[in-house]
């Protein structure tokens, strides 16, 4: 089952993750280990 996320929630998540993970490589590493669908990282 696919869940829909509000666009405002996506923006807030993006801002929060970029604040928590200061370095791009740390953020990329977190996302690749957390997200099961690699197409979402593109």
Whether 26 and 18 have beta carbons less than 8 Å apart is answered as no
**Location of structure tokens 């998540």:** 13
Q: What is the CB-side half-sphere exposure of residue 25 using CA atoms within 13 A?
A: 0
pLDDT at 12: 93
Q: What is the pLDDT along the chain (42 residues), one digit of tens a residue?
A: 788 889 899 899 888 888 888 788 888 888 888 888 888 777
**3-state DSSP helix/strand/coil % of the chain, to nearest 5:** 70, 0, 30
pLDDT at 35: 86
Per-domain boundaries in the chain: 7-41
Q: What is the distance between the alpha carbons of residues 19 and 11, in angstroms, rounded to a whole number?
A: 12
């Amino acid at each position: 089952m696919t869940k829909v996320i509000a666009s405002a929630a996506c923006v807030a998540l993006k801002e929060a993750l970029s604040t928590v993970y200061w370095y791009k490589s740390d953020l990329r590493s977190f996302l690749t280990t957390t997200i099961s669908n690699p197409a979402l990282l593109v």
